[in-house]
Structure 1
Amino acid sequence: MEVLVATAIAAMTGAGAYLVLQRESFPVVLGLAMLSYAVNLFLFSTGRLVVGQAPVISAQATGYTDPLPQALVLTAIVISFAMTALVVMLALGAFLERGRDTIDLEDDPEARP
């Protein structure tokens, strides 16, 4: 189970890093989302992969799952949603201002010194 989760985290991180390095803005947004999903899955897996255990310690519980990574993942989901919305609005503003969906500045006469 741990190998499967580690492989999924590695694949999502690799795909996210590849997409962030693209020139168009839409793949960059998808890459940032993939990276945030990989971080969320990593944080969630640090709380031990235990099925059927209580998230809090009680007197009769023999084992428990750490609730801190679950709280961190919930916070990270909200932050990544806000970050994605901000990046989408920045890309939309750049598209409406420049009239194209690229981050490439080689062809832009305004970017030359």
Structure 2
Amino acid sequence: MMHMVLTIGFLLVCIGFWGLMTRRDIFRMIISFSLLDTGVHVVMVAIGYIPGGTAPIFDEGLAVEGAIGNVVDPIPSALVLTAIVIGLAVTALMLGFAIRLHASRGSLAADELKELKW
């Protein structure tokens, strides 16, 4: 199960990276960035998952001695929640820039925006 989730995550990363490198439309580049971002999130959560693991709450059902191999690591999940919020804000900012570019230039083709390059 975990290998399948890791494979899906890496596949999303590869599709997103491929889209960023090959697409010249800014809207498609934003979608590719979101796919890449989602793939990284899936990989991070899959790395912290332990098959058959329990929540990291110590009580009478889970002793400290048995927690090493049986507890799911909460750090990747917490980092992914933060990264999702940041990714949403970055995507909204990119879409805002794309809307302004389309309003001022009439196109979202990156090849037509060469005067904005350094």
Aligned-residue identity in percent: 30
Partner of 2:11: 11
Give every structure 1 segment of 4 or more consecutive aligned residues whose post-TM-superposition deviation is greater than 4 Å.
none
8 Å CA contact 2:25, 2:109 repeated in 1: yes
Listed as ranges, the matches of 1:1-113 within 5 Å are 1-21=1-21, 22-51=23-52, 53-61=54-62, 62=66, 63-105=70-112, 110=115
Between the two proteins, the alignment pairs up a number of residues equal to: 110
Q: 1:55 to 1:39 in 2, by over 3 A?
A: same
CA distance in 2, matches of 1:103, 1:83: 19
**Greater fraction of residues in helix:** 2
Q: Deviation digits for residues 37-59 of structure 1, max 9, x if unmatched?
A: 01111111121233461233445
Gaps of 5+ in 2: none
TM-score by length of 1: 0.84
Which one-letter code corresponds to 1:39 in the other structure? Answer: V
Cα RMSD (Å): 2.1
Q: Deviation digits for residues 18-54 of structure 1, max 9, x if unmatched?
A: 2112100111011110011011111111212334612
CA distance in 2, matches of 1:39, 1:11: 10
Gaps of 5+ in 1: none
TM-score by length of 2: 0.81
8 Å CA contact 2:30, 2:94 repeated in 1: yes
